[in-house]
Each structure stands twice: as structure tokens, then as C-alpha cells.
A = this chain, B = another copy of it.
Amino acid sequence: MQNFECDYLEGAHPLIMERLAATNMEKTPGYTEDCYCEEARRKIRQACGCPDAEVYFLVGGTQTNATVIDALLRPYEGVVATETGHINQHEAGAIEAGGHKVLPVPHREGKMEAGMLSRYLKNFFADEAYAHMVNPGMVYLSHPTEYGTLYTRSELEAIAAVCKEYRLPLFLDGARLGYGLAAEETDVTLETIASVCDVFYIGGTKVGALFGEAVVFPRPGIVKQFFTIVKRHGALLAKGRLLGIQFDTLFTDGLYLDISRHAIKMAARLRQALTERGYTFFIRPQTNQLFVSLPMEKVDELSRKVRFSVWEKHENHTAVVRFATSWATRPEDIDELISLL
């Protein structure tokens, strides 16, 4: 049965598997202090246009979010995120486990708006009782968002300007960053992101790697001893080179963007077919995730033929379902899915 449930169904891109096999019996220092990590860091710095960036490799998204946020906040501070932000919903309280509140703000199609953020912060600090409340200490965005939507360059710059006004670090969760950078209609590049964010990560798990997220601090010195904070979070991989090798491969000859573009093409093909068949998108598709509104009976029927995610069930007997493509989706998979629609 075809499966479009998510973008982490398969293992890794074959080039990664080859290099892991080729280097398997080498002996290297642990804890991401090996030459492969160093090389991956060099390539990531170059791709970001930030020769001094600090780059760290962690294993998964939730642990990366928890570690970065814990590193940036002071005890009395929380992290501003949209209500739909991954950290506010599907991380089982990993942020709160570090002692910090997620400060939820409204979203539009999964996105935070600079104007809303500015009003929120202005009102917060205008409140007489603000010293009795969790203070906004940083801002968290996802790009692409949890709904697969994208910020434009000017939207990101506007948010960054608000953050700068209030001296709040801006953190971008790039678990699916490749699919954002490879989107057809985006004007956001890796360099854009490095220029507007104080810290962000480049997702590997969902974009071609077995696992791995590369945390980038474009301007060094923001966090002291992040290495030890990573260790404290149980997020330091003993055989760290596994991360170095994967990111080195992804950032060699543009592989990361290439495979991301492939997922976007597969999504475009599916989008066109869905449109032609008259399906309604819950949210206009921009990346590799397609959110479609369906009557519940259609959901039941389809789910006997193909796997996908049911995102939200509404009172009126409709549901929002998600189809996700990835670097690994084959044209014939899409064709088969289309034939089932």
C-alpha cells in the first residue's frame, strides 16, 4: 500500500548510505569532534555565507528545540511561538521540562505575523504586572511551518526587526528547511535565514538523512558552552561522525537542495492532480505537504487504499488530511496515488 503519511518513512539518501558504509571501520574521536563533522561545518558555513558561524550536530528535532531554547532563555523567560508551533503541540512538554513556558500567539496559516508580534510585545511590557509574568525571551518560528506554508523574505525581515527592537533572539526551526528553500515561489535562501536569525537548524531527518539536525549560530558567541548544554540534554551522539558524514554528504554538490527540489516536484504533480479532480485545499500548498479537506466518508474510503495522515476532524463530518512527499518519493508512487483519488 502506498504511504504518504510523512516525510520520514525511508532511511537515508543512497549517497549517505554509501559513505557510512565506506567509513564504517575508521576510528575517529567521538562527540562530533571528528574530521567529518569539521568538514560538514565548513560546508554549512559556506552555504550560509557565515564564515564564523558555530555549527553543532544533534540527533532529532524535539531535542534540538529543547536544547536551543534552554540555552537561550533565562529562568524567568519563555519562548513566543504560534499556537500551532511544534514546540507548543507535539513535543510532549520538552520545553516545559526545561522550566520554560511556551507563550502562544495567534497564527495565520501556521505563520506568525510581525504586526501581531509587535502588538503582543508592546502590550506585554505595557502591562503593570509584567514582572509577575513569564517574560518573552525569544521568538520561535518554523519554516516551512507545521502547515507547510512559507514566510517571504520580507516577512522574516519584519519579524527580525521586531525581535531586534525588543532584543529577543530569533530561532528558526528548520526541520523541513530544504523543502522551504526548494519551493517554487520562495525568495528565501539559506543566506537569508542566516542573516535574519540568531540561531536556526537545518533539518536532516526529514530531508535525506537517517537522522540529524545541524544547529547554526550565524554569529558566534551567543551561547557559552553549548556543547555541555547539548550533553546535559542527552543530545550528544557518541559516534558523532555519523552526523558529520551525513551533513557533509548533503552539503556536497548541492545534494540537500537537489533532493528537496525533487520532493517539491512530486508535490506539484500531486497538487495538480488533486486540483483537477476538484479537491479543496485546506491551506494553499507551498512545499511538500498538501493539506486537503475531505468529507469523512471519502477519508474512510481512501484510507483503505493508501496511507496518509488525518490532521483535524471537524464537527461537520469533514476532515483535513495530509499527503507528504519527500526526497524519496518516486514518480510512480505519485501516479499510483493519483489513480486512487
Contacts and interface: CB of A to CB of B under 8 A. Distances in A.
A150 to B, nearest CB: 22
Nearest to A65: B234
Given A93-B99, A210-B239, A225-B76, A28 B9 contact: yes
Interface string A52-70: 0000000111111111001
A25 interface: yes
Contact of A11 (B23, B60, B67): B23
B234 A67 contact: yes
Interface stretch (A110-118, A131-139, A248-256, A278-286): A131-139
B101 A99 contact: no
A121 to B, nearest CB: 15
A323 interface: no
A21 B10 contact: no
Contacts of A225: 74, 76, 131, 135
Given A96-B100, A97-B232, A231-B94, A20 B23 contact: no
Interface stretch (A84-92, A185-193, A194-202, A288-296): A84-92
B20 A24 contact: no
A237 B237 CA distance: 13
B97 A231 contact: no
- Which of A28, A93, A238 counts the most B-chain CB atoms under 10 A from its CB? A93
A120 to B, nearest CB: 14
B89 A93 contact: no
Interface string A200-242: 0000011000110000000000001101110111111111001
Interface residues of A, number: 80
A231 B6 contact: no
Given A21-B17, A132-B231, A231-B131, A239 B211 contact: yes
Nearest to A73: B75
Interface in A10-38: 10-12, 14, 17, 20-21, 23-31
A210 B97 contact: no
- Which of A67, A71, A74, A231 counts the most B-chain CB atoms under 10 A from its CB? A231
Given A92-B76, A93-B100, A239-B11, A62 B135 contact: no
Contacts of A25: 10-11, 328
Contact of A97 (B28, B91, B224, B233): B233
A97 B98 contact: yes
Given A25-B328, A132-B231, A231-B62, A239 B205 contact: yes
A236 B64 CA distance: 12
A310 interface: yes
Q: Lowest 6 A-B CB distances belong to which pairs?
A: A63-B234, A11-B24, A9-B27, A92-B231, A76-B228, A92-B232
Given A5-B29, A93-B100, 4 more contacts: A10-B26, A91-B132, A93-B232, A135-B225
26 contacts: A5-B29, A9-B30, A10-B27, A11-B25, A59-B60, A59-B237, A60-B236, A60-B238, A63-B233, A67-B234, A70-B75, A71-B75, A74-B225, A75-B97, A92-B132, A92-B133, A93-B99, A93-B101, A96-B100, A97-B99, A97-B233, A98-B99, A101-B101, A104-B104, A128-B310, A131-B225
